[in-house]
Structure 1
Amino acid sequence: MNAVHHITPLGRFKWLLKREYWENRGGFLRAPLVAGGISLLLSLMAIVAGLIAARRAAEKGDLHINGIQVNGLDLGMLTQHMTPADMAKFGEGMNMTLLLSSAWPFITLAFVVFFYCLGALYDDRRDRSVLFWKSMPISDTQTVLSKLVGALVIAPLLAVVAAIITMFGFMIMISLVVLFHGGNPLTLIWASSNPFSIAASHLAWIPVYALWAMPTAGWLLLCSAWARSKPFLWAVMLPVFAGVIVSWFDVMKLFGLNSGWFWGHVVSRLLLSATPGIELAYRSPTPTGESVKSMLNGFSPSVQLAGLANPELWVGVVVGAVFIVAAIWLRQRRDDT
């Protein structure tokens, strides 16, 4: 007699997460990788164009570095007289360049999470596949939470992986340029920069993003579960229309606030909290100074994790949780379009 294997709730939830990944692999994985690849291609084109321009300038005698005319781009010669202070500044510039080189997958993430949440509960009602999933031994709570985890954990984790791959791909690219022009990439590129610290910062940012994006994810999932049609218009126009009404009648004056507060702390939090980096606008205290070093310190792992102490973040988590509960309630009671 064959033994019957029962799937635990945790096991079912793992399968739901796998389902979300496989059904949305294009947005979760391919999109950030393609974005990173495009950024590397554009960087390569810019490097090639710069090298060609430098070579032509050298041939015409127009290439000057520190007031000295040079007839070629010999990085070994140009960098051998750099002082420790010069190398420190060069390293800061390299770190900022590496940080920027890894940004494209995060830009893609903003669009992926927004439209994934918007269609997560609406699409299966539209194509009636919701009836199939409701016939399975899967609760609506598990379904909604699996989509939430897909948006706030799986998607940003894969975007971070794509960003780190892109960053190291960029380092390899410029290392080859340095090597072919008389420089030592190990000392000039790898020793002067901190790519592993930047990678650690990206990884430390994931839990901050997951919590910070809760209001937007919850709001979009609620609209996805509620809207009979055009969830995008409902999700966007309701907060915007509320902002217009509040501004028009100057409602916030009743609370001693201006209309800008409503746009920044309500409308923006509902629609833009899933945008990577938006939390920097609400960070308190903000890193002081405008130097490259100060900006880089603002992205360190410790500063990223310190963002978990921001009261604005936790208010958003509570609001997002309320939206999620409402989305689960609607999911349990509606399967129509």
Structure 2
Amino acid sequence: MMIHKLPALLKREVLEHRNLWRVPIILIGFALLIRLSWGFGNLAPDFEVPTWLQSDPAIDGIIDGVVMQALDSMNYIVMMVLFVVAIFYTLSSLFNERQDQSILFWRSLPISDGLTVTSKLFIGLVLIPLFIIATQAVVSVIFLDSQAPQYLSSYYGRTLGGLFKTLLWSMLPTICWCMLCSEIAKKNPFLLAFIAPLLLVMVDKLFLNGVVSNTLVVNRLWGIDEHSLQPLVWGLIFSVVCVATAIVKRSQRF
């Protein structure tokens, strides 16, 4: 029964939080405008290659490499923008329900608090990454046309593993923390989500030599330590605690 309810909850989230699908459309629109500008005006790419080098395959490879690097950068921007969307979505998802009192309606339905929170986590940790992959694919087709499949096979081969590691290492604890802040904040979950870690870092640096902040906060902002499993385990434990606390707090309201 819970499996049948989850799609309805996901549909509700997508309809209520329109930025989830508006932002990818806007990003694709920007990419399309840039691509169209290549044929008009001063934004068209102009590679001046001497005539005697135009038949050299190495030159074509260099030009293709420049285009691929630019597209990689654009796809990285797509990923970062949608990660920000995921953070803001989770920060507002539970908080807005309390502010507009819509939680009273949803609590009257035969839907558990755990399933409701799970649906919101699914949006942040599964649906938005899928939006990232789909948006990157469309952007690549816009710029490369028939060469897009070859580029995408290479690009996804290089980046999908990193995307999964980023989700597990950085985004999972971040999203779960934002979900908790969205549930427990009385006025502004955004301030709680960012000020509390800042205070933790300051206190930890003063009294604990940075042990806690390096494990839970700083390392996750600077990258993935593939040689250390302990921070990953602590991040998973932290995520479970945040989600469980959010579910319990939500069940105690009203």
Is TM (by shorter chain) over 0.5? yes
Name the CA distance, whole Å, in 1 between partners of 2:130 and 2:24: 11
- Structure 2 gap segments, 5+ residues each: none
Indicate which of 232, 239, 243 corresponds to 2:201.
243
Instruction: Tell me the SS of whatever aligns to 1:102.
Output: helix
Is 1:217 the counterpart of 2:159? The answer is no
Name the CA distance, whole Å, in 2 between partners of 1:95 and 1:52: 14
Contact 1:36 1:102 in 2 (8 A): no
Instruction: Tell me the SS of whatever aligns to 1:16.
Output: helix
Contact 1:104 1:163 in 2 (8 A): no
Change (3 A) 1:126 1:268: farther
Name the CA distance, whole Å, in 2 between partners of 1:29 and 1:204: 24
Matches within 5 A, 1:117-196: 117-172=90-145, 190=147, 194-196=151-153
- Structure 1 gap segments, 5+ residues each: 1-7, 55-62, 71-76, 173-185, 254-258, 286-308
Name the CA distance, whole Å, in 2 between partners of 1:208 and 1:17: 24
How many residue pairs are counted as aligned between the two chains? Answer: 252
Name the CA distance, whole Å, in 2 between partners of 1:12 and 1:252: 46
Contact 2:93 2:182 in 1 (8 A): yes
Contact 1:98 1:195 in 2 (8 A): no
Partner of 2:252: 333
Name the CA distance, whole Å, in 1 between partners of 2:232 and 2:112: 29
Higher helix share: 2
Q: How far did 1:284 drift?
A: 3.1
Indicate which of 249, 252, 261 corresponds to 2:208.
252
Name the CA distance, whole Å, in 2 between partners of 1:52 and 1:31: 27
Contact 2:9 2:119 in 1 (8 A): yes
Name the CA distance, whole Å, in 2 between partners of 1:145 and 1:122: 15
Instruction: Tell me the SS of whatever aligns to 1:282.
Output: coil
Matches within 5 A, 1:35-184: 35-42=27-34, 44-45=36-37, 48-49=41-42, 51=44, 65=49, 78-83=53-58, 91-172=64-145
Change (3 A) 1:51 1:9: closer
Name the CA distance, whole Å, in 1 between partners of 2:132 and 2:141: 14
Contact 1:98 1:167 in 2 (8 A): yes
Instruction: Tell me the SS of whatever aligns to 2:208.
Output: helix
Name the CA distance, whole Å, in 2 between partners of 1:284 and 1:111: 24
TM-score by length of 1: 0.65
Which deviations, in whole Å up to 9, do the C-alpha atoms of 1:294-326 show, x marking residues without a partner?
xxxxxxxxxxxxxxx955334312211111011
Partner of 2:192: 234
Instruction: Tell me the SS of whatever aligns to 1:103.
Output: helix
Contact 1:105 1:163 in 2 (8 A): yes
TM-score by length of 2: 0.83
Partner of 2:23: 31
Q: How far did 1:36 drift?
A: 3.1
- How many percent of aligned residue pairs carry the same amino acid? 26
Q: How far did 1:214 drift?
A: 1.3
Name the CA distance, whole Å, in 2 between partners of 1:317 and 1:194: 34
Is 1:266 the counterpart of 2:216? The answer is yes
